[in-house]
Amino acid sequence: MRPNKRGELVRKALDLFYGNGFHATGMDLVAAETGVSKTSIYKHFRSKEELILAVLKLRDEDFRTWLYTRLEARADTPRGQLEALFDVLQEWFEQPGFQGCMFIKASAEYQSPDDPINLQSAEHKQVLQAHFAHLAAGAGARDPDALARQLMVLKEGAIVLAALTHSSAPARDARAAAAALIEQAIG
């Protein structure tokens, strides 16, 4: 399988796993929906879990690129980007096909703290939190790490509630709470 075909497979598998879940999506379905034989899939991925890890890597890259680009488009200061976080999340929640966070789903299906899928999901969240801490430091927060952790709690809660309620309202509610936290942390 050529590198671009491998990438195509991973991208199509991402859609399948996102829409159906990880355990509910078998390799027979992946083969049928992608048009790639199971033999070819297993030449590049020794297991379904290896394919899932490749899917999560792609989703991490795609999501962070989208999120950071949207934050920068909405604000040109670190504080402005922190304040815009929940406006950007609202955009995501209102996209057709929004079904929550793939990393939350992955960690729920692969709960062992030593599982590579769980670890990769946690790493995605840690990278986002580090980015928010960097923005908070640039904005002059007294404790950038604490503010980043608090914003992550709001962000993750908003994602879960948006998926459960099929509404973008949690983004607006989280934005109001975040504004208070940012004002308290930065002044």
Local confidence band at 3 (pLDDT 50, 70, 90 cut-offs): low
pLDDT in tens, 34-79: 999 999 999 889 999 999 999 999 999 999 999 999 999 999 999 9
State how far the Cα of 155 lies from the Cα of 151, in Å rounded to an integer: 6
- The answer to whether position 15 is within a domain reads no
Say if 140 falls within a structural domain.
yes
Q: What is the pTM of this model?
A: 0.94
What is the domain count for the chain? 1
- Higher-confidence residue of 57 and 3: namely 57
Alpha carbon dihedral 97, 100, 103, 106, in 10-degree steps, equals -90
Classify residue 172: in a domain, yes or no. Answer: yes
Asked whether residue 14 is assigned to any structural domain, the reply reads no
DSSP string, 72-132: HHH-SSHHHHHHHHHHHHHHHHTSTT----HHHHHHHHS--TT-HHHHHHHHHHHHHHHHH
Model confidence over 125-176: pLDDT tens digits? 999 999 999 999 999 999 999 999 999 999 999 999 999 999 999 999 999 9
Q: Are 173 and 158 in contact (CB under 8 A)?
A: yes
| Residue 5, in any domain of the structure | no
Domain of residue 67, residue span:
56-186
The confidence score (pLDDT) of residue 187 equals: 81
